[in-house]
Structures are given as structure tokens and as C-alpha cells.
Amino acid sequence: MSPHVVEADVRAGAAAAGVGTPAVRLEAVRKSFGEVAAVAGVDVEIRQGEFFSMLGPSGSGKTTCLRMIAGFEMPTEGRVWLSGRDVTAVPPYDRDVNTVFQDYALFPHMNVGQNVEYGLRVKGVPASERRARAAEALRMVRLEGFERRKPVQLSGGQRQRVALARALVNEPSVLLLDEPLGALDFKLRQEMQLFLKRIQQEVGITFVYVTHDQEEALTMSDRIAILDMGRIEQVGTAIEVYEHPATDFVAGFIGVSNLLEREGRHFTVRPEKIRMLDEGPPAPPGFHVETGAIREVVYLGMITRFVVDMDAGGELVVAAQNLDSPVQALEMRGHRARLAWRPEQTFTIRQQRPVAREEEE
């Protein structure tokens, strides 16, 4: 199972399904648990070969969406499509998907090789082919020679890669990943983000990735769907959702954003786009300038964060890179400040929906 063969098979499958046929399509999908709508009407298309992330806080509906794609949950309303096939009523074992979970779900009594081969053994694949495909899958996740080790003998990152190999060995058209890096420490999680993206590019399989970690989604994704209260707030590339947030919620959830209202216009500007000007010189041409008082100064290593109460109302957070010694900046609390930004770096947004989930039932 070389990466090139897998990628060719995926592309052939996409062609057979029809040009432009999405790998996954959720059509007006709704899932209710009693009076609570965990997913309250989701429409989204995920392209063939795409690394697509569902990002949102706990309770936003992202994991429920993933479970409906996998077949572990049935929609209360709506349809689920895989490569043009309506699988809404199809059981999980008959869908061309595999799932990688946060807790790995490895069998502790089996060694690595047996864990990776397990799905193939259930399908009745001959032993010699199972071993060859498992060895190739372990090679792809950089675990050659680990076949005889037990899961307890592996690190968290290695166990996660075994879980990934066990999913990839089945050659699914869609791989579903439910917060797979959540149990790892910060440094290892960053390494695994790059590793997962590289593997996805090598094999060409559609990845649908669920996370609450904004940096994780921005790092890996071709596109991101941001969910809140069971609905999709925005779908776009990392640059689109960060630089052009569509709602108050997106602006506040993705990174740090400043929300201001001036002359009836509701807009956002990112902290790193704002300059703190010296008292004397005029502002650079084309910049909008406002004044305020510095309320807080926080040193964060690479940057210093200033919180400024604006004379015209509201507050702005400013992120200044620490090119020089930050000692002087730490003494600026309580001082006056002139802030400047380019008008084209602000974006008008619509406000968050005021309707609560319970009111929609």
C-alpha cells in the first residue's frame, strides 16, 4: 500500500463519483437529544482530498457532526452523503470511513502489528497481505520495527501514530479524527500537527478533524468550519476566518480580536495590526488614529500585550513584538497612548445570533 497507490485510488474514486462530488456532504442536518438541539441545521460540503477541520467550543456540535458522518449517531433530520452516496441510514461498518479517537482505543493485549492488522483481519484479508499492508502503514507513520511492542511500551505520540496506522491501513475514502491530539503535551502536539498534515498530503485521503484548539485548526486545515450552538458560523481558509471573521463569535473565538463600534459601524481589528505611536510625530499617511489610557501591560515573551481604554469608547488590545528590552513597556501602565491602524485592516461584521438553542425547539 504505497502512498502513491493510495492517492491514485482516491483520485480514481473521486472521478468515478463524478467531477466535483464532495467527499462528505451534510444536508440540513439536525440532531436533538430531548429538548436540546446539539446540531441545529448544518449544511456543509467537504471536498475530496481536503484537510477539513470542525472547530468550536465544548457543546458546539462538532463531535456530534463527526459521529453522524461515522454513523455512530443518526440525524433527527437531514441527510448525510459520502462521495455522492446517501448513507443516512447506513450502519457504521458499511461506510467507507475510519475514525481516530483521542484515547487511541488500542487493544492492550495485542501488539502493535496485531492492532494495525485488526480491521483487515475482520474483513477476512489473508494473513500475508495483512502483514504487508500493516508494515507499510507503520512505515508511513515512522514506526517501522515496532510491530512486536505492546501499547503500554509506547509513548503517547507513538500510540497515536499506531491508531493512525490502524485507520490508514483500511484505505478509507474519509478519515475522521476526534480531538486526536488532546491528550498530548504542548510540544508533542505541535510536532504531531505537522506530522498529520504531512501524512494527509502523502496519502491524499480526506481528513475531517474535530478540535477546540484554534492554533491546531489554523496550522493544519485547508478549510475550517467554525461552530457554535449547533450551527456553522463561518467556513473558510485559515486566512479567511482569521482576517475576515463573519460574526462576533468568530472574531472572539479565533485568536484575539478587538470589537469596536464607531458611528453605527460594528467592526473588528486584530491586536497585531495596531501601532502604538510616539507622542510627537504625526501618524503615517492613511492611518486612523485614536487616543486612550493604558490600563494593563502584560509581558508574554515574544510580545507585550497592552490593554487600552479608548476615549471614544470600548477597549483595544495591542500586541507589540519585543524587538528591544520590554522593561520600558512594563512602566507604561496608566500612561496615555495614541493608537493607529489602517482602515482596510478593519472588517465590518454582523453581530452574534441572539436566539438561544432551547428557544429553537
Q: At 10, which CATH number?
A: 3.40.50.300
Assigned domain for 189 exists = yes
Q: What stretches of the chain show up as alpha helix (H) in DSSP? A: 3-17, 62-70, 112-122, 127-140, 156-168, 186-203, 214-220, 238-243, 248-253, 327-330
- Assess whether 51 and 196 both reside in one domain: yes
Domain boundary among 208, 224, 248: 248
Domain boundary among 222, 248, 274: 248
Mean pLDDT over all residues of the chain?
Answer: 88
- Assess whether 265 and 229 both reside in one domain: no
> β-pairing, 24-33 with 36-46?
antiparallel
- Assess whether 49 and 147 both reside in one domain: yes
Assigned domain for 254 exists = no
- Assess whether 199 and 311 both reside in one domain: no
Residues paired with residue 235 on neighbouring β-strands, in sequence order? 225
Assigned domain for 253 exists = no
Would you put residue 30 in left (φ > 0), alpha (ψ -120 to 50) or beta? beta
Q: What stretches of 53-111 show up as alpha helix (H) in DSSP? A: 62-70
Q: How confident is the model at residue 68 (pLDDT cuts 50, 70, 90)?
A: very high
Percentages of the chain per state (helix, strand, coil), in multiples of 5: 35, 30, 35
Assigned domain for 112 exists = yes
* pLDDT tens, residue by residue, 270-319: 999 999 998 777 888 999 999 999 999 999 888 999 999 999 999 999 99
- Assess whether 25 and 167 both reside in one domain: yes
Domain boundary among 248, 282, 312: 248
Residue pair 351/325 in contact by the 8 Å Cβ criterion: no
The burial class, CB within 10 Å (0-12 / 13-18 / 19+), for 205 is buried
C-alpha cell at 257: 480580536
Residue 292 CA to its chain's centroid (Å): 36
Q: Is the pLDDT at 42 greater than 80, yes or no? A: yes
Name every residue whose Cβ is closer than 8 Å to that of residue 329 and which is 6 or more positions away in sequence: 297, 299, 304, 306, 320, 322
Q: Is the pLDDT at 15 greater than 70, yes or no? A: no
Provide the 10 A C-beta neighbour count for residue 15: 11
* Residue 283 domain boundaries: 259-348
Q: d(Cα 1, Cα 132) in Å, to the nearest integer?
A: 8
Q: What pLDDT shows up at residue 352?
A: 54
- Assess whether 174 and 309 both reside in one domain: no
- Assess whether 129 and 221 both reside in one domain: yes
C-alpha cell at 291: 487616543
- Assess whether 227 and 196 both reside in one domain: yes
Assigned domain for 151 exists = yes
Residues of the chain with pLDDT > 70, as a percent, come to: 91
- Assess whether 240 and 291 both reside in one domain: no
Assigned domain for 357 exists = no
Q: What pLDDT shows up at residue 351?
A: 58
Give this prediction's pTM: 0.85
- Assess whether 244 and 285 both reside in one domain: no
Q: Is the pLDDT at 337 greater than 70, yes or no? A: yes
Per the structure, how many domains does the chain have? 2
* pLDDT tens, residue by residue, 239-254: 999 988 988 899 889 9
Q: At 316, which CATH number?
A: 2.40.50.100
Assigned domain for 355 exists = no
* Between 301 and 236, the higher pLDDT residue: 236
Q: d(Cα 247, Cα 190) in Å, to the nearest integer?
A: 28
Assigned domain for 15 exists = yes
- Assess whether 98 and 181 both reside in one domain: yes
The residue length of the chain stands at 361
- Assess whether 242 and 287 both reside in one domain: no
Which has the minimum average pLDDT: 20-29, 142-151, 180-189, 313-322?
180-189
C-alpha cell at 331: 512602566
Helix (H) or strand (E) holding 99: strand 97-101
Name every residue whose Cβ is closer than 8 Å to that of residue 255 and which is 6 or more positions away in sequence: 214, 242, 270
Q: d(Cα 129, Cα 158) in Å, to the nearest integer?
A: 24
- Dihedrals φ, ψ of 291, to 5°? -115, 160
